[in-house]
Amino acid sequence: MPATLEQLTGAFTEQFARLREWLEPLGDTLGGAAQLPSSRTGWSNRELVVEIGASVQSLLNAEPAPAGTTPLSLAEYTGHDSDFDAELTQRVREQAAGLTQGVLEYLEEMHTRATANLLALGDDEDSVVLGALGPIRLGDLVRTRLLDLVTYTLDLEASAAGRMDLSAGNTPVHVPALRLVADELLDIVASRGGYHLEVVDARMWTRLATGREPYNTLALTSAIQPTDTAGGVPDLGRVLPLI
């Protein structure tokens, strides 16, 4: 069952708060690792944090669509081409290089302003707004921002592995938000294939579904399972990654 706008917004707020709390003691140098390569190939840790701010900024820039505007589906909205990806990458890198304020201050500012705009857009998840890629339902726009926020936070977590203590209580990931995102991603698969599946490892499933973890059936069967014990986990190699 897809999450409601209230659930999505709550998870977004809680995930951001957890990330900000985790980043605070590291400071703008990110514990001396700002310029080091992140787990995301070709990106530094600083650029990755700035990308989170740029993703949040999409909520800040959203505005009500003219009456009668037909929204794009979630799949249509997220199915942008590689040219847009390249443009976005270049823009984020330029923004990271030219940022005049501290990276954590920038992140906080984007979140504060985006939250204010989200409140102004109202609480009707079916209302149509103009996002960065076109018209979309408000609920779906917040869904895309939460998915990005959790995914990039997982990237930061992976970047810190072996360099920081990531034992229980010291992860940037807000587990309930991760679980919600994992369930949303599984809903996409289930709706396309008619499968009856459930998440057993939210972190692994999200990494597989977003291309952070190379696809293999062992990882897949450790991450999801059939709701019917007599069933099996389908081979999803042709549909992953979803994002």
pLDDT at 12: 97
Instruction: Give CA–CA dist 113/118, Å, rounded.
Output: 9
pLDDT at 89: 80
Whether the CA torsion 138, 243, 196, 228 is positive or negative: it is negative
Task: Kindly state the average pLDDT of the residues 94-107.
Answer: 93
pLDDT of 59 strictly over 60: yes
pLDDT at 82: 55
- How many other C-beta atoms lie within 10 A of the C-beta of residue 15? 23
Q: Which of 120, 236, 230 is nearest to 185 (CA)?
A: 236
- % of the chain beyond a pLDDT of 90: 72
pLDDT at 143: 95
pTM of the model: 0.94
Element (H, E) at 68: none
Q: By mean pLDDT, which of 133-142, 154-163, 166-175 is the weakest?
A: 166-175
Residue 194 banded pLDDT, cuts 50, 70, 90: confident
The H-assigned helical ranges of the chain are: 5-23, 45-61, 74-78, 82-98, 103-120, 138-160, 175-193, 202-209, 217-223
pLDDT at 171: 94
Residue 228 banded pLDDT, cuts 50, 70, 90: confident
Q: Are 178 and 14 in contact (CB under 8 A)?
A: no
pLDDT of 162 strictly over 90: no
pLDDT at 80: 63
Amino acid at 213: E
Residue 84 banded pLDDT, cuts 50, 70, 90: low
Task: Kindly state the average pLDDT of the residues 210-232.
Answer: 90
Q: Which of 168, 174, 149, 158 is nearest to 212 (CA)?
A: 158
